[in-house]
Amino acid sequence: MGRLTTSSGDCAWQLRERNILGRSRKCTIQLLAPSVSGEHALLRWAGGHWHLQDLHSRNGVFVAGRRLAPDERFALGPGAEIGLGEPGGLVLVDAGPPDAFAVPEGGREVLVAEAGLLTLPDPSDPATIYRGPHGWYLEHAGNVREVHDDEVVRIGDVAWQLALPESLPPTAEATEAPRKIADLRLHFAVRPGTEYVELVAFHGASALDFKARTCHYPLLLLARERLRHGRLAPAQQGWVLQEELLMALQVDRNQLYVDIHRLRQQFAQAGVVDAARIVERRPGTRQLRIGTAHLEIVQLDRPLASG
């Protein structure tokens, strides 16, 4: 994702979709050099590139030593050297598109989204922020709500200021369509009488082998419920009350939330673009379900390998 540093590397900033550079406290990136104006320059993402523009500063904006003309908008490449008021001083070390990140109170380390998921830590229940069909959503403690750029949310004892880009990620050039949860065919191999579950996800000609993990067992129960509802309309299939699922699993809600978080991370790391939808929650209810209707469950006959 977009990242700006000083030439010395002493300071670094994750870039929002739109960044104001200057000496004012209101600036996205505050620079205190005396040659810098209060609101000196605009650095924003548009059309697949970062663009720099002088905001009618007193001492000008420079790129690779050249001063930009008034109102000129200059497209930057990776490694571009930028100067405010004088040549140089800043470097665009990463020219990738903006991604979600969160800034904690108290100056602790900024958290950046990984594989489309932004995770805010909590001792028992990490919060997950992900892009939905109509914006960004926060899921925490079994509840889902919409969140917005620059909003402050409190998770545990920490308040986080969110940076959530409005623009969509660029379309990848690939030989097959992007992997989405609803298009995956999930194959569960289950050892009867145990919670041992192997999981393989098929997408076109490719297979994602997630092997056996403890977090697959809650997903298996949700898969069984969706298969049981196969004659219902797709929008009505598979919804389960969280309390019923907890009783079936014989775990507390914190363990369930941790398992759901691990499932989402697993699919995100495998390149599934909407990994958060592996477990969906119905807004305004305590219901959840597995996010795909393409499901297979078979029994394993081979014994467990002895160690």
Q: In the numeric block, which tokens belong to residue 5? A: 């540093």
In the chain, how long is the greatest CA-to-CA distance?
Answer: 76
Q: Are strands 143-147 and 240-241 parallel, antiparallel or unpaired?
A: unpaired
Q: What is the CATH number of domain 3-94?
A: 2.60.200.20
Task: Report DSSP state, residue 79.
Answer: T
pLDDT (0 to 100) of residue 178: 83
Per-position b or e across 61-70, b if 16+ CB within 10 A of its CB: bbbeeeebee
Q: Per-residue pLDDT tens for 263-276?
A: 999 999 999 989 99
Pick the closest to residue 264 from 241, 280, 283, 251 (CA basis).
Answer: 280
Residue 169 pLDDT: 57
Is 218 within 8 Å of 256 (Cβ atoms)? yes
H/E stretch holding 208 = strand 206-212
DSSP-based three-state secondary structure for 195:
coil
Per-block mean pLDDT, blocks of 10 residues, the chain (307 long): 93 96 96 96 96 96 95 94 96 96 86 89 85 88 91 94 81 64 97 95 94 97 96 95 96 92 93 93 92 96 56
> What's residue 70's pLDDT?
83
Q: What is the pLDDT of residues 54-65, one digit of tens each?
A: 999 999 999 999
Query: pLDDT value at position 174?
Result: 46
This prediction's pTM: 0.78
Domain ranges for the chain, please list them.
Answer: 3-94, 101-163, 181-299
d(CA 271, CA 22): 38
pLDDT on residue 55: 96
Helix ranges (H only) for 91-215 are none
